């Protein structure tokens, strides 16, 4: 079957750096996306990696290693507003229109 694994919860301190990992097992692979969802809110798109390496967007970076079927989201200079759930999603094999989603990582930030 196809699956994505990410930790269910991560705790970090305000101002610190945190990394959220995602490993995937899919029948095909086109790219890895990351989404943020605040409690009661809609998921919002953060980043997409189709090729190996690091993509940086402000305080957030996303990394992909296709040979290891692994990626991570790196959040720097953590702020309280970064407390949210973070989902990885893979555009994989099968239908060209589907994303396969991880179960989400709840990021708890302490002052």
Pick out residues in 61-80 that bind another protein (CB under 8 A): none
Closest CB to another protein among residues 26, 33: 33
Closest CB to another protein among residues 13, 50: 50
Pick out residues in 79-108 that bind another protein (CB under 8 A): 87, 89, 91, 95-99, 101-104
Closest CB to another protein among residues 6, 78: 6
**Residue 72 and residue 52 in contact, taking contact as beta carbons nearer than 8 Å:** no
Cα-based angle 91, 95, 97 (whole degrees, multiple of 5): 60
- Which tokens go with 6? 């990410």
Among 34, 10, 11, 14, smallest CA distance to 77 is for: 14
| Rg value, the chain, Cα | 14
Pick out residues in 6-45 that bind another protein (CB under 8 A): 8, 30-31, 33, 41-45
- Strand order from edge to edge, sheet including 60-65: 3-5, 18-25, 70-75, 60-65, 53-57
Total residues contacting another protein by CB under 8 A comes to: 23
Which residues bind to another protein, rule: CB under 8 A? 8, 30-31, 33, 41-45, 48, 50, 87, 89, 91, 95-99, 101-104
């Amino acid at each position: 079957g196809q699956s994505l694994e990410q930790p269910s919860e991560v705790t970090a301190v305000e101002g610190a750096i945190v990394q959220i990992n995602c490993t995937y097992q899919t029948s095909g692979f086109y790219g890895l996306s990351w989404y943020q969802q605040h409690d009661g809110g809609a998921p919002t798109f953060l980043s997409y990696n189709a090729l190996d390496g690091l993509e940086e967007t402000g305080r957030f970076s996303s990394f992909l290693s296709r040979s290891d079927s692994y990626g991570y989201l790196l959040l720097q200079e953590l702020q309280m507003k970064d407390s949210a759930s973070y989902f990885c999603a893979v555009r994989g094999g099968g239908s060209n229109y589907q994303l396969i989603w991880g179960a989400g990582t709840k990021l708890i930030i302490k002052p």
